[in-house]
């Protein structure tokens, strides 16, 4: 599974990254989370608001930081 958190380092982006890492750990996906902070990479992926979360290349959320249970639910659906 490929999990990408897009964010430049703002407070909500840091929360999203930490929550995504915690959710991945709960599901045993510790090495699956990738943090993407390069603006060019975000634009190429179609990200228009941060933080954003993509699972297996599909953007699941943009412009808000989710809590751990919400991320776990998204990961389980993927």
> Which positions are catalytic?
10, 13
Q: Which of 50, 2, 57 lies closest to 24, judged by CA?
A: 2
CATH number at residue 15: 3.40.30.10
**Assessment of whether the complete model's pTM goes beyond 0.85:** yes
Residue 49's pLDDT is 94
Query: In sequence order, what are the residues at sequence separation of 6 or more whose Cβ sits closer than 8 angstroms to the Cβ of residue 76?
Result: 27
Q: What is the rounded distance in angstroms from the CA atom of residue 24 to the CA atom of residue 10?
A: 21
Question: Total domain count for the chain?
Answer: 1
Residue 30 has pLDDT above 80, yes or no: no
Full residue range of the structural domain in which residue 69 is found: 3-77
């Amino acid at each position: 599974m490929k999990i990408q958190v897009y964010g430049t380092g703002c407070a909500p982006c840091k929360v999203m990254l930490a929550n995504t890492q915690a959710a991945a750990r709960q599901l045993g996906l510790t090495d699956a989370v990738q943090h993407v902070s390069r603006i060019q990479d975000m634009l190429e992926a179609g990200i228009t608001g941060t933080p954003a979360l993509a699972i297996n290349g599909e953007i699941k959320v943009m412009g808000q930081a989710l809590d751990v249970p919400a991320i776990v639910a998204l990961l389980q659906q993927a």
